[in-house]
Amino acid sequence: MNRLYHVALSPFCRKVRLTLAEKRIEVELVEEKYWDPSPDFLRRNPAGKVPILKIDNRFLPESQAICEYIDEIHPTPALMPRDREARYEVRRLCAWFDDKFNAEVTRKVMGERVWKKIMKKGYPDSKTIKEGLSAIKYHLDYMGWLLDQRRWLAGDQMTLADFAAAAHLSCLDYISDVDWNRQAAVKDWYAKIKSRPAFRSLLQDQLPGLPPAPQYAELDF
Amino acid sequence: MNRLYHVALSPFCRKVRLTLAEKRIEVELVEEKYWDPSPDFLRRNPAGKVPILKIDNRFLPESQAICEYIDEIHPTPALMPRDREARYEVRRLCAWFDDKFNAEVTRKVMGERVWKKIMKKGYPDSKTIKEGLSAIKYHLDYMGWLLDQRRWLAGDQMTLADFAAAAHLSCLDYISDVDWNRQAAVKDWYAKIKSRPAFRSLLQDQLPGLPPAPQYAELDF
Ligand SMILES: N[C@@H](CCC(=O)N[C@@H](CS)C(=O)NCC(=O)O)C(=O)O
Ligand SMILES: N[C@@H](CCC(=O)N[C@@H](CS)C(=O)NCC(=O)O)C(=O)O
């Protein structure tokens, strides 16, 4: 059976989980605590990162490469548009979230509030958290601006870009760090994506010792 | 005319320059000092990063999205293979360099040795430089291992993955921080790629106050 080595609140792993679920590709989820790696971890991925998808007896790391590959081998429902300009836009926005949003928000807020605790690496640094919570405003506003012109982030079709964004925001929502009242269009968009069957498995995640915020799994939030 | 907003020793900009040059797409290079941005900078790219390609009167940021787009609109010579598994491998390796190599090596070594100086942001931190110079060994060995099995990094064809890797290594080579004698296969590979016409413009780069190391532009290094 296919397998996904992952950790629960990783946005990169979540993007892959959403993609697999949307395509109805079943995988067994295997938790890989990369900070305390199993002996085979580096053999599966010499980069030492999750996610890693085991499919057809090969091990595939790198979330964006995985998602595009899955979209190519299982083209329906399509998560990449056919039009080249539209495809560019999807890739630009995936990079926006996985590079910029990740560095400015996810890594700071989740890094301090969640990962330090789970990895037992000391106490959260409140200055870093503050920077992250300040930066998220710009990102929500940018998303709001996009969604005032488009049904989905990259255009009128749901794509990988929506999954990339939802993957990050859902991690932050687990600890209640998204202000859904800031941008009505963003809240509507998240409500749409959160109610998809593909999202269900994410909403069931539970970290030991760190239960999700009450609204996390609610479709009416 | 097409235009590329860039900075000289940025690996992301270099990957795009190599791709454009390999496809013989002419661009005017415009230096964009993002740490001292021009008023229009954030209008061109709300992410506040270079490279940004101006083409057909649109502004396109994000190096990987740009390169894949260019490869789709100008398919020859191809920088992405046709086979899906091979395309996955190219994308995985681009991410290897632009995510992992960048964080572990480029950002540390170039960040301390070059960018701090250019941005006038204080003195280089020798501990960070040491970490970067130690990590590069693992990366060169990994490349050597790949190149013992393949003509190019992602397979038997030159691809974007080679440009991503060469973009990072060429920046480090500018300050003489690549030990070309560590892995013979890597040296041969770099000699091949360095001698391509597409590489010429990179070899002419000169930072004011920081001339390139003597071997930087030599084809016999
Ligand atoms: N570019 C990678 C990033 C994956 C990533 O950074 N994963 C984190 C967990 S969220 C990780 O495994 N970090 C371990 C490390 O960097 O050593 C991808 O898109 O898959
Ligand atoms: N994911 C981006 C990364 C580009 C990037 O980080 N560029 C650097 C220069 S090497 C930059 O503009 N940094 C400014 C900033 O991050 O504020 C890409 O591939 O184009």
In a domain, A205, yes or no: no
In a shared domain, residues A56 and A125? no
Mutate to test the interface with B, among A44, A62, A137, A145 (most CBs of B within 10 A): A62
Q: Please name the residue that has the structure tokens 């480090």.
A: B172
| Phi, then psi, of B183 in degrees rounded to 5 | -135, 110
pLDDT of B40 over the 90 cut = yes
CB B21 within 8 A of CB B53: no
Among residues B15, B194, B165, the alpha carbon closest in space to that of B97 is found at: B165
- For residues B173 and A193, give the distance between their C-alpha atoms in angstroms, rounded to a whole number: 46
The average pLDDT across B67-87 equals 98
Q: Say yes or no: CB of residue B128 within 6 Å of ligand 2.
A: no
In a domain, B204, yes or no: no
In a shared domain, residues B117 and B180? yes
The average pLDDT across B74-87 equals 98
Pocket test for ligand 1, best of A9, A33, A49, A102 (most atoms within 8 A of CB): A49
In a shared domain, residues B116 and B185? yes
Domain boundary among A48, A73, A98: A73
ipTM, 2 dp: 0.98
In a domain, A47, yes or no: yes
In a domain, A138, yes or no: yes
- For residues B165 and B144, give the distance between their C-alpha atoms in angstroms, rounded to a whole number: 12
What pLDDT, on the 0 to 100 scale, is given for residue B96? 98
In a shared domain, residues A69 and A88? no
In a shared domain, residues A52 and A118? no
**A95: contact with B, CB 8 A cutoff:** yes
Which residue has its alpha carbon closest to ligand 2 atom 10?
B10
Residues 160-219 of A with CB under 8 A from B: none
Neighbouring CB atoms inside 10 A of A28's CB total 10
In a shared domain, residues A88 and A170? yes
In a domain, A216, yes or no: no
In a shared domain, residues A97 and A128? yes
In a shared domain, residues A105 and A49? no
Per the prediction, chain A carries an average pLDDT of 97
pLDDT of B38 over the 90 cut = no
Assign residue A152 the CATH number of its domain: 1.20.1050.10
- Give A-chain residues touching B72 at CB under 8 angstroms: 84, 87
Assign residue A31 the CATH number of its domain: 3.40.30.10
The average pLDDT across A179-195 equals 98
B52-55: strand order across its sheet: B28-31, B3-6, B52-55, B58-61
**Ligand at shortest distance from the CA of B114:** 2
Give DSSP secondary structure letters for A91-155: HHHHHIIIIIIIIIIIHHHHIIIIIHHHTT-----HHHHHHHHHHHHHHHHHHHHHHTT-SBTTB
Q: Taking the CA of residue B59 as centre, how many other CA atoms within 13 Å lie in the half-sphere pointing to its CB?
A: 15
Q: What is the pTM of this model?
A: 0.98
- For residues A156 and A153, give the distance between their C-alpha atoms in angstroms, rounded to a whole number: 8
Mutate to test the interface with B, among A34, A49, A74, A92 (most CBs of B within 10 A): A92
pLDDT tens, position by position, B93-133: 999 999 999 999 999 999 999 999 999 999 999 999 999 99
CB B153 within 8 A of CB B74: no
What pLDDT, on the 0 to 100 scale, is given for residue B65? 98
In a shared domain, residues B52 and B106? no
Tell me how many domains chain B contains: 2
Exposure string of B152-184, with b = 16+ CB inside 10 Å and e = fewer, is: bbbbebbbbbbbbbbbbbbbbbbbebbebeebe
In a domain, B217, yes or no: no
In a domain, A194, yes or no: yes
Q: Say yes or no: CB of residue A106 within 6 Å of ligand 1.
A: no
Domain boundary among B25, B44, B73: B73
CB B147 within 8 A of CB B140: no
In a shared domain, residues A123 and A191? yes
In a shared domain, residues B17 and B92? no
User: How many Å lie between the alpha carbon of A89 and the closest alpha carbon of chain B?
Assistant: 8
* Cα(A49) to centroid(ligand 1), Å: 4
Alpha helices (H) in chain A, listed in sequence order: 11-22, 41-44, 63-73, 84-95, 107-110, 116-118, 126-147, 160-174, 184-194, 200-203
* Residue B117 Cα to chain centre, angstroms: 20
The average pLDDT across A200-211 equals 96
Mutate to test the interface with A, among B67, B73, B100, B101 (most CBs of A within 10 A): B100
| Phi, then psi, of B92 in degrees rounded to 5 | -60, -45
Amino acid (one-letter) located at A46:
P
Neighbouring CB atoms inside 10 A of A221's CB total 15
Contact A69 B62 (CB under 8 A): no
In a shared domain, residues B47 and B131? no
What three-state secondary structure class fits B199? helix
Inter-residue long-range contacts of B128-133, CB under 8 Å, 24+ positions, other chains counted: B131/B104, B132/B104, B132/B105, B132/B106, B132/B107, B132/B108, B133/B109, B133/B177
* Cα(A64) to centroid(ligand 1), Å: 11
Q: Say yes or no: CB of residue B12 within 6 Å of ligand 2.
A: yes
- For residues A33 and A5, give the distance between their C-alpha atoms in angstroms, rounded to a whole number: 9
Q: What is the CA radius of gyration of chain B?
A: 17
- For residues B26 and A151, give the distance between their C-alpha atoms in angstroms, rounded to a whole number: 36
Proportion of chain B in helix, strand, coil states, percent, rounded to 5: 55, 10, 40
Least confident residue range of A31-40, A158-167, A184-193, B197-206: A31-40
| Banded model confidence at residue A38, pLDDT cuts 50, 70, 90 | confident
* Residue B70 Cα to chain centre, angstroms: 16
Which residues have CB under 8 Å from B214's CB, separation 6+?
Answer: none
Amino acid (one-letter) located at A123:
Y
pLDDT tens, position by position, A48-93: 999 999 999 999 999 999 999 999 999 999 999 999 999 999 999 9
User: How many Å lie between the alpha carbon of B73 and the closest alpha carbon of chain A?
Assistant: 8
Q: Which of B32-36, B194-198, B206-210 has the highest mean predicted lDDT (pLDDT)?
A: B194-198
In a domain, B55, yes or no: yes
Q: Say yes or no: CB of residue B34 within 6 Å of ligand 2.
A: yes
pLDDT of A39 over the 90 cut = no
Q: Which helix (H) or strand (E) holds A54?
A: strand A52-55
Pocket test for ligand 1, best of A12, A52, A115, A163 (most atoms within 8 A of CB): A12
pLDDT of B39 over the 90 cut = no
Neighbouring CB atoms inside 10 A of B9's CB total 23
Task: Give the domain extent around A115.
Answer: 84-199
* Residue B44 Cα to chain centre, angstroms: 21
How large a percentage of chain B has pLDDT more than 70?
100
